[in-house]
Structure 1
Amino acid sequence: MQVFNVQGMSCGHCVKAITNAIQGKDPAASVRVDLAAKEVGVESTLDADKIIEAINEEGYTVKLV
């Protein structure tokens, strides 16, 4: 599982937006969001750069942990 620190997440809408963005690029991806820790865990065939790009496109600041 790849884990990313995502700044700017604060609610259920954020969780849905990030999940949809990642699954839009890999429909089989498993996404786990921890709002309190500001972390997103992803099981996917996508490389980290593609996941970061998908999250960035939703307006969040993200980096690989």
Structure 2
Amino acid sequence: MYELEVEKMSCGHCINAVTKSVQAVDADAKVEINLAQRKVRVQTDAELAEISAAIVNAGYPVVSSAAV
């Protein structure tokens, strides 16, 4: 599982966009988003770099990321 700190998320649209970007990399990924803490937790078999790049490409800067 990975935890990423992602900026510019503020609403339901943001949650959908980030979730779709992650699931474009791994359709079976489980995504949990906490808007207040700007945290995205992803359970996936994909590489962290792929997940991070997908979120950035969707327009949401990834400030930090780590395997947890």
The TM-score by the shorter chain falls in which range? over 0.9
Partner of 1:14: 14
The answer for unaligned runs of 5 or more in structure 2 is: none
Partner of 1:27: 27
Equivalent residue runs for 1:1-65 within 5 Å: 1-62=1-62, 63-65=64-66
Computed over aligned residues only, the root mean square deviation of the Cα atoms, in angstroms, reads: 0.8
TM-score (norm 1): 0.96
Alignment coverage as a number of residue pairs: 65
TM-score (norm 2): 0.92
Matched residue type, 1:64 = S
- Counterparts of 1:37 and 1:11, CA distance in 2: 13
- Counterparts of 2:46 and 2:11, CA distance in 1: 25
- Counterparts of 2:51 and 2:25, CA distance in 1: 8
Give identity over the alignment, percent. Answer: 37
The answer for unaligned runs of 5 or more in structure 1 is: none
Give runs of ≥4 in structure 1 deviating > 2 Å. none
